[in-house]
Structure 1
């Protein structure tokens, strides 16, 4: 077996939680080392972005129809709106003298390891170059100013690039070795958040294929060690192209044009000291993507033609749904979902061309849903399966217990491949598997996201990250679908991996459980005060 694949499989195995022991972690939180949630580049030119989300009147339902939103100009104002709705602050929470920010993109433990960058040609009111997005101030920090003429020639057409990177320490401070997984979830959350925001502006958005990690690091300036002297490094993740799909840029022209750029800014140090986690370093090294690798692949036969998504029952603006998204801390244990709402949420998890956010991923679906249904009107409580790709049901059947039913679900639209495996009250099992957390049992439903693990990793260890990105994108889809249907969701990163595998009857790593999620009627914490996202900017617009 390829050594990198062996190494990433070893990391996955050692980072599993078990009923009798958890993956290696800090054992307690050293609050003196809590990472700063905001990366800044001292000395970089700062460009304030306007705050315009309140004025965006696009309904959320329009995002679910291809090309339903007219394209806005690609300029400083609308770039600012893209970042405001994707990676910007959504509110501040306060309890006593403690205050913390929430963002539009979800994050494990609200720690936000994901950093965002803009790479663009000259736009109206914005010079061409490489910028870091500072969410706290809703501003761009100009990291690179390339020579104007070579830079302009390097762009294949109208469009821009959003780059994502991860600061693994932000998660490792709290979660130890398992943190690398959570960083990859958060990349998927951010991709989906960016794709939803782009759709609200009438723009396309797709993860760029063929860019290796070294190329991404060079483009974003992450390989400039002098700019990270004592600061925590950032690992390159991916690039998202905003513009016509036919004109996506290749690495060589942009990197050549960037060679003569002047760079500015030194990264701030997030913690005064750190605990080293060698397993994360090993995983990062094993999963690095070489240049020229392709993610796009076939669909396992012709993709089914799916009907349009049903509009959500509430007529809500896209900006409202996006900015009110929260991770539920507790559920009430009695809210039932209407079956139509449940089916609509699952329908949104089936990829459709031109429908965000799952159209941003250039590969066929490799992550499938196993659902614990607790409280859905008209559905028997029990275990259900949602295969998300052609041929997946046969592979899942072959890997799981032979006694599962695989029955069609009465009332479920025919194009949604939901199957009943076991009719039974499984709230206790859901709670146990989710590290004994009540949120997995007190919700309307919870689910495990099961990945085609062995066959995918056989194509390269770098696919490991992409499986988590897909799981994270599914999670963000469910977050917004829950909000649009009047309930709330939350991701669950703590679960007993192999207990879920034992329940399903999995005998090997053909499939692996990567992420859990749960949806239901949320219980609000009345002790917390909610403050405006950008009230500290004195009404800037």
Structure 2
């Protein structure tokens, strides 16, 4: 095992929550110095995008067969819509004097460490350059311009993370949550592109150093030292206009050598009272090198019908994280439950069409109230070999009874598991008052030992599934919530797992939400048309 892999395993063990102690975090929160959720660059030309809020004719159920969705023209209006539905604001909330924005892509603690960039080599759509998307203002900041002559006309979306935004609240565990959010953001981009009849190609062969250079993230002087961004992913947007050919990183690097760069970041916060050097260290140990090109051939999706179908763009904008659930609500219909689970299995639909690797994470489900299904502990394998791999590693007390369903899954043990779900998820009632909750188990040691950067990839995959759960819950007329706080080894202990072969990386819960009437909700972009005094 490489030193990088050993250091990653040590970080993971160090940042586990235990029943008798939480991972290291700030002793108190400096609310007056909370990082701004909106990154901006000084000294950049800004490009206004068309007014947000347009609806598309595509229904959510149509995303099951994305090849049948009409292709929308590639223009600035639709490009703006892609960015809005992927990374834009969905609403404002207010409680007393406090006011905050929600976004289409979820984030741990609503802190939003993920930043999005556009890289254009398509002058007929957008002048060649690198652009930073500002979700608050729904505009682009032009970070650089360059001569794209000789390059294929393409649009790329790059994602990066500001670890400080997350660490301000969550301390050392924040690196994990940033990776979750990258998975959420990639899935959000995939769904948004599919609504337009477009396709997202994840260029997973690119290395972090290349992405950092192409997006200007390696320009140290442009960033506040403690608020740097780390590169994560680069995607190519395929609008179906024709084959753009093989992606050439060297050609893009050559063109960008003569780029003229603009701007530097505004500070996100001032004091940085707490510092977490372990995050920079694990980021260094998980740097991704350039790798071989990988793509997946996926089977066609075959999912039960959507019970609360609506325009996909509307559903994306209404996505919320439930804060409380009705613990006495009617059971979730079995057809809705099976639709949600089936949507988590790899198939030729978003967001899996933007994912390049075989399934490495699988689900342990705590079923509380699903109509026609006995409460208990269940397991959903997401690949054919997963069952044979994990069953011998688990406690021999479990039955592994196969359940009649449109897919292969198993009941480990029948009975009331609400208290167990609540305790394991840091004593949070949202895990027990819901219809069901789950933990996402990853093939862990093998992946991290093979390549240390896969540690990030495992969390991306968990976030990808989280976004599916969010949207499928909305389509079932209920609501979901991601849970990053859980007692890692206690989860493993319940299952009888004794080493690092399998690790729980993310929890999630779905049920009927209880809304807080004290919270006010306001439109996402009303401030773009209001007077300066009304601007948030």
TM-score (norm 1): 0.95
Aligned to 1:361: 355
Q: What is the distance in 2 between the residues matched to 1:431 and 1:168?
A: 28
- Counterpart in 2 of 1:41? 41
Partner of 2:64: 64
What is residue 249 of structure 1 aligned with on the other side?
Answer: 247
- What secondary structure does 2:159 align onto? strand
Instruction: Measure, in 1, the Cα distance between the counterparts of 2:398 and 2:345.
Output: 23
Q: CA RMSD in A?
A: 1.6
Contact 1:75 1:123 in 2 (8 A): no
Task: Spell out, residue by residue over 1:310-353, the C-alpha distance to the aligned partner (whole angstroms, 9 max, x if none).
Answer: 33112300011100000000000023110110000000001112
Equivalent residues in 2 for 1:273-288, closer than 5 Å: 273-274=271-272, 275-288=274-287
1:123 Cα deviation after fit: 4.3
Tell me if 1:153 matches 2:150.
yes
Q: Please state how far the C-alpha of 1:152 moved relative to its aligned partner.
A: 3.4
Corresponding residue for 1:536?
527
**Distance between the aligned counterparts of 2:137 and 2:339, measured in 1?**
36
Structure 1: how far apart are the matches of 2:258 and 2:227?
26
Matches of residues 255-270 of structure 1 in structure 2 within 5 Å? 255-270=253-268
Say if 1:51 and 1:84, in contact at 8 Å, map to a contact too: no
Distance 1:50 1:197, change over 3 A: same
Task: Name the counterpart of 1:478.
Answer: 469
* Kept in 2: contact 1:76–1:123 (CA 8 A): no
Residue in structure 1 matched with residue 534 of structure 2 by the alignment: none
Please state if 1:379 is matched with 2:373: yes
Gaps of 5+ in 2: 532-536
| Contact 2:445 2:501 (C-alpha < 8 Å) held by counterparts | yes
**TM-superposition CA deviations, 1:196-237 (whole Å, max 9, x none):** 000001111122122111000000000011211556100010
**How many Å separate the matches in 1 of 2:30 and 2:157?**
33
Q: Give a deviation string over 1:294-324, Cα, whole Å, max 9, x none.
A: 473789xxx7x56522331123000111000
Tell me the distance in 1 between the aligned counterparts of 2:168 and 2:177.
Answer: 12
* Match 1:453 to one of 418, 423, 444: 444
SS in 1 for 2:69: coil
Rounded Cα–Cα distance in structure 2 between residues aligned with 1:159 and 1:375: 48
Counterparts of 1:99 and 1:510, CA distance in 2: 43
SS in 2 for 1:384: strand
TM value normalised by structure 2: 0.95
Is 1:370 aligned to 2:370, yes or no? no
Q: Residue 53 of structure 1: CA displacement?
A: 3.7
Structure 1, residues 253-288: CA drift from partner, whole Å, max 9, x if none? 111101111111111110102122011111101000
Q: Distance in 2 between matches of 1:471 and 1:116?
A: 20
Deviation at residue 126 of structure 1 after TM alignment? 2.2
Written as runs of structure 1 = structure 2, the 5 A alignment for 1:436-515 is 436-515=427-506
Q: 1:85 to 1:333 in 2, by over 3 A?
A: same
2:394 aligns to what? 400
Give 1:10-409 correspondences, 5 Å limit. 10-147=10-147, 151-155=148-152, 158-229=153-224, 232-243=227-238, 247-274=245-272, 275-291=274-290, 293-294=291-292, 296=294, 305=299, 308-335=302-329, 336-353=331-348, 355-409=349-403
**Contact map agreement 1:230 1:269 (CA 8 A) in 2:** no
Shift of 1:10: 0.4
**Equivalent-residue separation in structure 2 for 1:307 and 1:272 (angstroms):** 49
1:91-145 Cα shifts (integer Å, max 9, x gaps): 0001122110000000000000000000112344521211000000000111110
Superimposed CA distance per residue, residues 8-37 of structure 1 (whole angstroms, 9 cap, x where no aligned partner): 000000000000000000021011220011
Residue in structure 2 matched with residue 8 of structure 1 by the alignment: 8
DSSP 3-state at the match of 2:66: coil
- Structure 1: 5+ residue stretches without partners: none
Tell me the distance in 2 between the aligned counterparts of 1:169 and 1:66.
Answer: 37
CA distance in 2, matches of 1:513, 1:52: 38
Q: In the TM superposition, what is the alpha-carbon distance from 1:240 to its structure 2 partner?
A: 1.5
Distance 2:410 2:442 in 1: 17
Q: 1:198 to 1:135 in 2, by over 3 A?
A: same
Aligned partners of 2:201 and 2:237 also within 8 Å: yes
Q: d(CA) in 2 for partners of 1:59 and 1:208?
A: 28
Matches of 1:54 and 1:76 in 2, distance apart? 13
In 2: Cα distance, 1:331 partner to 1:409 partner: 27
Instruction: Name the CA distance, whole Å, in 2 between partners of 1:193 and 1:34.
Output: 26
Stretches of 4+ aligned residues off by more than 6 angstroms: none
How many Å separate the matches in 2 of 1:123 and 1:445? 49
Q: Is the 8 A contact 2:52 2:138 kept in 1?
A: no
**Alpha carbons 2:205, 2:294 under 8 Å: kept:** no
